[in-house]
Amino acid sequence: MALSNTAVGAQAALSPHSFYDGFPLGRGWVAALPPFNEHLTTDVGGFYLAFAVLFGWAAARPQRALVIPLAVAWAVFGLIHLAWHAAHLGGLARADAIAQTTGLAIVLAPSALAAGAFRRVRRRAASGERTGAAAQPDR
């Protein structure tokens, strides 16, 4: 997630017109929803870069106090993002509409998996079950 958000964020923040015209990989999904707004596109890049930092931090130091709120925050954004795009597919070819909707749904999976993993660790610890260092929940 850190790498994916870095790629999206860097292009949007550093080259907003390129992001608008060609994201992703030259497909032009953003351009299908005019008009171009440099300020908004640059801000979106900053948003993705900020989440990239948090995902990188959580990967390097996975603590429940960071991972759970990060997963929930990403899920809130991801669900709103998915719902909006699913309701506005008119400017895309059918294959692009399917790819975009599928891709936006897939990026929600890591948040659900991370939150679920930390919940299972906490339940095991509460029940007294030990499965090594991973069974020790971070506080």
- Per-residue pLDDT tens digits for 59-115: 999 999 999 999 999 999 999 999 999 999 999 999 999 999 999 999 999 888 887
Q: How far apart are CA 43 and CA 126, in angstroms?
A: 42
Q: Where are the domains of the chain?
A: 1-48, 62-139
* C-alpha dihedral, 100 to 92 to 94 to 77, nearest 10°: 20
The percentage of residues in the chain with a pLDDT greater than 70, rounded to a whole number, is: 86
**Residue 135: pLDDT over 50:** no
